Amino acid sequence: MPADLATTRLWAATTFPEASSSGVGQRSVPSSGMYDYPDGPDAAEERSLLRIQARVAWFMRLLTTVDAGERPSAPPGPAIHAANHRSMADLLLSTCTFSSWGWPIRPLVAVSYFERPLIGWLLRQLRCIPVEGTEALDLAAEALRDGWSIAIMPEGRIVPEEEWAETGVGRYHPGIGRLALDTGLPVVANGASGTERFWPRGRSLPFFRPWRRVPLVLRSEVVGVVEAERAREATDEIMAAVVRCVATSDQIAGRTT
């Protein structure tokens, strides 16, 4: 996406031209009937987060090229996003993506990262949700009840390339399946590629080479409301969609043919 077009879309998103028709801030009843979820978070908080995401996205486009594809056609209201995890740069790519979509999604991030210089400050600015252990699902559910869409990386760690080289993803945990079944909210699968080149696993900082921008690619698929009977089955269904998205992103990024 050209930088001028991207910037226009990013700042245009903060004006919320669709707010009056989408009913942001109004209540809607999900198909599960379990909870009366709002169509979105507090409008002022939403605008604030979009502005911050736009600034990060502008900076990232000085160092990378970002191809995030079209905004997924998910129904109004909060959604659960699942993504693969190859690099710390996954957070930066997701910020660019959410900004270009005009969708202020809040990722779940391990609490230990909030204690790191600079990275911790950035995570707090982006309203990331610090999680540790079994409390992760409770905090995710709380954010969803407040109308926020959230992003989870079910692998739970930055996965070494030797573990994801064959299928695109590493071993994952069933928590996201449990959350999808408990809330009855729609799920969106996301697959990222190129972040492992921009910020390789084990490096304290990414590569800063504006003269040689790294291509980052993300593709998405709307899974919808998951109807599985067990959390593991639900997670397998979600991660199968993530694998498909990763395969597409890897091909676009030139990792595979």
Instruction: Quickly state the pLDDT bin for 9 (edges 50, 70, 90).
Output: very low
Residue 235, both tokens: 């997670």
Instruction: Quickly state the pLDDT bin for 50 (edges 50, 70, 90).
Output: very high
pLDDT for position 173 = 92
> What is the mean predicted confidence (pLDDT) over 68-87?
93
Q: Quick one: which H or E segment has residue 151?
A: strand 150-152
Q: Quick one: which H or E segment has residue 192?
A: strand 187-193
Q: Contact 123/115 with Cβ under 8 angstroms?
A: no
pLDDT for position 34 = 60
> What is the mean predicted confidence (pLDDT) over 73-95?
93
Match 């600034």 to its residue by tokens. 55
pLDDT for position 31 = 43
CA-based end-to-end distance of the chain: 22
Highest mean pLDDT out of 72-81, 155-164, 166-175, 233-242: 233-242
pLDDT for position 3 = 37
Q: Round to whole Å and give the CA distance between 197 and 256.
A: 14
Q: Contact 159/86 with Cβ under 8 angstroms?
A: yes
Instruction: Taking each helix axis as running N to C, give the angle between helix 231-253 and helix 175-183, from 0 to 180 degrees, rounded to the nearest 10.
Output: 110
pLDDT score of 247 more than 90:
yes
Instruction: Quickly state the pLDDT bin for 208 (edges 50, 70, 90).
Output: confident
For the domain 3-12+39-198+212-253, what is the CATH superfamily, name and number? Glycerol-3-phosphate (1)-acyltransferase (3.40.1130.10)
Amino acid identity for residue 257 in this structure: T
Q: Round to whole Å and give the CA distance between 25 and 146.
A: 10
> What is the mean predicted confidence (pLDDT) over 50-75?
93
Taking only the tens place, the pLDDT of each residue in 107-153 is 999 999 899 888 899 999 999 999 887 788 899 999 999 999 999 99
Q: Contact 11/54 with Cβ under 8 angstroms?
A: yes
Instruction: Quickly state the pLDDT bin for 257 (edges 50, 70, 90).
Output: low
Q: Quick one: which H or E segment has residue 169?
A: none
pLDDT for position 14 = 34
Torsion sign over Cα 12, 5, 121, 141? positive
DSSP annotation of 27: B
Residues 6+ apart with CB under 8 A from 193: 86, 216, 217, 218, 246, 249, 250, 252, 253, 255
- Name the nearest CA neighbour of 37 among 47, 23, 50: 23
pLDDT for position 202 = 82
Taking only the tens place, the pLDDT of each residue in 179-207 is 999 999 999 999 999 999 999 988 877 88
Q: Round to whole Å and give the CA distance between 88 and 114.
A: 13
As a dihedral over the C-alpha atoms of residue 237, residue 239, residue 243, residue 248, rounded to 10 degrees, the angle is 80
The rounded percent of the chain whose pLDDT value lies above 90 is 66
Instruction: Quickly state the pLDDT bin for 233 (edges 50, 70, 90).
Output: very high
Residue 149, both tokens: 């869409």
pLDDT score of 2 more than 70:
no
Q: Round to whole Å and give the CA distance between 256 and 235.
A: 26
Residue with the bigger pLDDT between 211 and 50: it is 50
Neighbours of 248 (CB within 10 A): 20
